[in-house]
Amino acid sequence: MDTLASYDELPYDSLPLPETQPDVLAALARLHGFNAPDPRRARILELGCAQGGNLIPLAWRWPESDCVGVELSRVQAAAGADFVQRLGLANARIVHADLAALPADLGSFDYILAHGVFSWVPPAVQGALLDVCRRHLSPQGLAYVSFNVAAGWQRLQPLRAALLERTAAGLPAPERHRQALAVLADLEAEWRDPLLLKEIAYLRTAAPSYLFHEYLADTNAPMPFAEFTAALDAHGLRYVGEAGPRRARVALEDAWGLIPESMAGRWQDAEIALDDAFATRFRRAMIARDDAPCAQPPHPDAMADLAFHADLACEEDIDLDADVAQRFVNPAGNHFPVVSPALKAALMLLSMRYPVALDYASLVDATRALLADHGAADLDEPAFREALFDLVMLHGVTPTVWPGRFADEPGERPRAHDLARAQARTSGWVVSGARHVAVDLDLAGRLLLGVLDGSRSLDELAAWMQAQLAENGLDLPLEQVEELTRRQLWLYVRQGLLV
């Protein structure tokens, strides 16, 4: 096949995907007793990388890494290759190719990423994807393969069937998308199932590319977890653990002293039970070669070797005196109830330091000091570790092996790094934060970021902003623009965009 017309016509929103960051994967793998290579000097391969919105920021972050993206849609691959060239990024390459027909001389990779690909390609390409993982993973390498899970998708199938049936496959993508929106409006009036109605409400506001490529795609083949692990087995691969958020974790009774291999069967049964209990729709599986050391269910003791970051706010004044549940919320709007005062104090500290990550020992020390300052009870370390571990599993706190160093103030003449400026100036690209999140910027935010080359003082930037806003029909007094500019610069600091 030469290209993928559906993705040429309606390219996928190519965003940074936080769960695919190799430093996070390495940290999560360690919780499973698996040691993955140092991401800073890793070779990283992304399959189905779209225009490289995920891969390019990783290459930028770690100049000593070597990143290769493979994408079958000619339009997306060309957009990615063009952006890499304009950035002058020597350690990244976006190749227009079919992952099922890769040249054998690509070499081996420490991380292989395939997000949103496996369930959306025919069985032969699924097999080829796993073959690529087996053939090209380094001995201790980690692959990340996300897929739709049958347990949760069973109940959504009527929605996909109705959308496929009631829209015309031959229409150009934007028209078919409009047709699908009309069908969703009809279904909302016709149907009663609360789960389907919730999904319809979501789809009506979701990115067109999501609705199109998830519900109207020729292939979307959810798979039971057991079938997925059997496919891994058949390709000389093995499950390491989950890179996505988990509402419950597997802890095997009487596992003490057992070698990881002997836990595999019980672990798999427990994962299947979790999928059924939570109607899991999507998994982000970490995978290794079957000749690498065997992983085991995640364990809190491994946290001592890791660092952590979090971007959370509490919805009320934080109570460090009592075990009362308080809700913390992340920028995506996900809520995390936290009871333990020690964990609340730790979250305050992490959020203040974001995007920097604190290693476990420093976090414990700083939390103890904060509790003491406040006159609160001291931290009970084993209980703290357990509570933090639960929040890590839920993705309220992110573990990493890369603490990161970032500018902690805008400085006299603020300068954004070259990637952020290029992303801000180029339509079709989102700005990626230091922790691989899509930074939500309005037009003014993009304009300002795009000119932060270190040549202007704050006063000069404010005057420039005032002129830009006036050109766009918004006349504001200089004082107000100065305040807006200052706030915007601190937002860039928080996202690690300044140098």
Ligand X SMILES: C[S@@+](CC[C@H](N)C(=O)[O-])C[C@H]1O[C@@H](n2cnc3c(N)ncnc32)[C@H](O)[C@@H]1O
Nearer to ligand X, 117 or 358 (CB): 117
- Give the x-and-dash track for 174-213 against ligand X (CB under 6 A): ---------------------------------------x
Q: Which of 147, 138, 84 is nearest to 111 (CA)?
A: 138
We find the least distance from the C-beta atom of residue 282 to ligand X, in angstroms, to be 12
Cα separation, 214 vs 202, whole angstroms: 13
Candidates 83, 109, 111, 120; binder of ligand X (CB under 6 A) is 120
Contact status, residue 54 vs residue 111, Cβ threshold 8 Å: no
Nearer to ligand X, 70 or 187 (CB): 70
Nearer to ligand X, 127 or 404 (CB): 127
Contact status, residue 75 vs residue 8, Cβ threshold 8 Å: yes
Candidates 115, 235, 344, 421; binder of ligand X (CB under 6 A) is 115
Dig out the tokens for 356 from the structure: 């920097």
Contact status, residue 303 vs residue 264, Cβ threshold 8 Å: no
Candidates 22, 52, 80, 116; binder of ligand X (CB under 6 A) is 116
Nearer to ligand X, 1 or 325 (CB): 1
Q: Which residue is nearest to ligand X (CB)?
A: 48
Dihedral Cα 241, 245, 250, 256, nearest 10 deg: 60
Which residue spans within 165-281 are E strands per DSSP? 237-242
Interface residues for ligand X in 210-239 (CB under 6 A)?
213
**Alpha-carbon Rg for the chain in angstroms:** 24
Residue position matching structure tokens 């913390």: 328
Candidates 27, 31, 44, 70; binder of ligand X (CB under 6 A) is 70
Q: Spell out a b/e string for 442-460, using b for 16 or more CB atoms within 10 Å of the CB, else e.
A: eebbbbbbbbbeeebebee
Q: Which of 230, 232, 237 is nearest to 291 (CA)?
A: 237
Using DSSP's 3-state secondary structure scheme, residue 134 falls into helix
Question: Binding segment for ligand X among 86-94, 112-120, 342-350, 383-391 (CB under 6 A)?
Answer: 112-120
Give the angle 324-327-332 at the CA atoms, nearest 5°: 165
Candidates 26, 59, 121, 162; binder of ligand X (CB under 6 A) is 121
| Binding of residue 130 to ligand X (CB under 6 A) | no
Q: How far is CA 178 from the centre of its chain?
A: 29
| Binding of residue 118 to ligand X (CB under 6 A) | no
Candidates 45, 125, 133, 338; binder of ligand X (CB under 6 A) is 125
We find the least distance from the C-beta atom of residue 245 to ligand X, in angstroms, to be 17
We find the least distance from the C-beta atom of residue 121 to ligand X, in angstroms, to be 5
Half-sphere exposure of 177 (CA within 13 A, CB side): 18
We find the least distance from the C-beta atom of residue 129 to ligand X, in angstroms, to be 8
Question: Binding segment for ligand X among 72-80, 147-155, 239-247, 305-313 (CB under 6 A)?
Answer: 72-80
We find the least distance from the C-beta atom of residue 125 to ligand X, in angstroms, to be 5
| Binding of residue 99 to ligand X (CB under 6 A) | yes
We find the least distance from the C-beta atom of residue 438 to ligand X, in angstroms, to be 11
- Give the x-and-dash track for 24-63 against ligand X (CB under 6 A): ------------------------xxx-------------
| Binding of residue 81 to ligand X (CB under 6 A) | no
The number of residues that bind ligand X (CB under 6 A) is 22
Which residues are CB-neighbours of 13 under 8 A, at least 6 positions away? Answer: 53, 207, 209, 210, 430
Cα separation, 328 vs 407, whole angstroms: 26
Cα separation, 353 vs 367, whole angstroms: 13
Give the angle 342-348-350 at the CA atoms, nearest 5°: 100
We find the least distance from the C-beta atom of residue 53 to ligand X, in angstroms, to be 7
Candidates 56, 84, 89, 100; binder of ligand X (CB under 6 A) is 100
Candidates 82, 98, 188, 290; binder of ligand X (CB under 6 A) is 98
We find the least distance from the C-beta atom of residue 18 to ligand X, in angstroms, to be 12
Residue position matching structure tokens 């919730």: 198
Residue position matching structure tokens 């019980």: 266
Dig out the tokens for 329 from the structure: 């919320």
Cα separation, 182 vs 164, whole angstroms: 13
Cα separation, 200 vs 268, whole angstroms: 32
Nearer to ligand X, 12 or 328 (CB): 12
Strand order in the sheet with 335-338: 313-314, 326-329, 335-338
Nearer to ligand X, 84 or 292 (CB): 84
Question: Binding segment for ligand X among 66-74, 130-138, 353-361, 483-491 (CB under 6 A)?
Answer: 66-74
We find the least distance from the C-beta atom of residue 52 to ligand X, in angstroms, to be 9
Nearer to ligand X, 117 or 183 (CB): 117
Candidates 21, 65, 73, 351; binder of ligand X (CB under 6 A) is 73
| Binding of residue 76 to ligand X (CB under 6 A) | yes
Kindly state the helix (H) or strand (E) to which residue 464 belongs, with its residue range: helix 458-471
Nearer to ligand X, 47 or 397 (CB): 47
Cβ neighbours around 429 below 10 Å, total: 20
Residues of this chain that bind ligand X (CB under 6 A): 4, 7, 12, 14, 48-50, 70-73, 76, 98-100, 115-117, 120-121, 125, 213
